[in-house]
Each structure stands twice: as C-alpha cells, then as structure tokens.
Structure 1
C-alpha cells in the first residue's frame, strides 16, 4: 500500500516513461514540489515495497547519480492492489469490460474485439518475458 505522496511519485514516474535521476525529479517544477530529502526517503520506501528500482548510474560532476524507474506498470500495480483488497479475476474482467464500454465503443462486438486485443497483447507479453502473470 502506498501513501498519497508515494502514489503521486509513482504516477510521475509512469508518466515520464523513462528512467529519471533524483535531480531530474526535483527540477520538474509544476505541481510536484518535493524537497530532496523527502524525495530520497520516498524512493527508498518505494524500493523496499518493490515499486521502483535503481536501473542505472550517470556521472554527475565527480559523483555517480542513480536512475530510477517503476518496477511494474501502472496497470499491473492497480491490478495487484485490487487483488490484494480481495477482488477476484472475474471482477477485474468485468472492470475491464466496463472501462471499454465507457470509452465510447458501446457496440458489444467492438467491446469484445477490444478486450480480445488487450488479452492477446498481454499473453504475447507474458510469453515474451517468460512470466505467467502470477505475482
């Protein structure tokens, strides 16, 4: 379970779509006003929770700085959160169907086609990465 600020940081990292240095996270401006000490503490906490990982180092001045990236996708995270809270696989399928219906494709055949595309993509990914979807 993540704190509100950890959830905010995870969404920031997912949206970035690339590994980031602490320095890059601090220099984003806008709605994220993290101080360096707090940001490092959140990253350490997220590492312990298995949500982020150090994925590289870059030389900055005379020191190496660590790069961080999410360890799991946003979709995997929210799926696991739902499962941890007692949701069954059938419920997740129903949520996926409802989400597709809300997206404007209200034709049942189109909904079925879109869900099949999503499932096929996930199956291909799991085969490619050698995972079976179990966490």
Structure 2
C-alpha cells in the first residue's frame, strides 16, 4: 500500500467499500455520515484516482450532466492488512496476550503458536 489514508480519503473509500455498485461524487456525499462539500469530495476523488486507490467504474447521466462513478481498486481488507504490516501483527498479538486474563484462552493461543512453529520447521 502506498500510504495511510487521510480522514477524508478514508471516508470516501469507506463509502465505496460499503457500496455494491459504482458511486458518483454526489452519491458518496449522500452516503457518508460526514458532511462534505462537493468540491472537497471531487478533490479527494482526483487524488485517490491519481494514486491508484480507485478507478472509474462507469459514466452515467445525473441531472442532465455526465458523471463518473468510481469503484475501489484496493479492498478494505487489503488496506487493513497494509496498516498492520509485520511489526503491527506482532504488536497486535503481544497486546492480545497481555490483555487476556482467561487461562483457557491463553492455553489455546499457546497451542496455536506451537502448531504453527511445527509447521514452519
């Protein structure tokens, strides 16, 4: 992944990830809980398009005007994975172990680790 998304970029991507169809800038504005100005959404879309996060999925007519509709190129899962990275996975696992008080859960985690170690040998 190229970088971490800004809050506005993430909101636009979230709208696209949650949709089962391509969305225009107007539809993105309408589907988001955040109040955007249309010019802001269009600027964010230009940036995401230029950097390869999204692509034009369709061109349609909205109120007598041609409008591009966008689809995500990068899935939500791919983005989340990129945020974790190798160090992030270790940090997350370490935190999980430190915060777990249930002995049975810790034993199960230990079993999973042992099983994985055997697979790698």
TM-score (norm. length: structure 1): 0.57
Deviation >4 Å, runs of 4+: none
- How well do the aligned residues superpose, as a CA RMSD in angstroms? 2.9
Alignment correspondent of 1:51: 53
User: For this pair of structures, how many residues does the alignment match?
Assistant: 96
- Bigger radius of gyration, 1 or 2? 2
Give the Cα separation in 1 of the matches to 2:21 and 2:50: 20
Q: CA deviation at 1:77?
A: 1.3
Gaps of 5+ in 2: 113-121
Q: Deviations over 1:8-30 (max 9, x none)?
A: 2212221223211112122336x
TM-score (norm. length: structure 2): 0.63
Give the Cα separation in 1 of the matches to 2:26 and 2:41: 10
Which of 22, 35, 49 aligns to 1:33? It is 35
Alignment correspondent of 2:8: 5
Gaps of 5+ in 1: 113-135
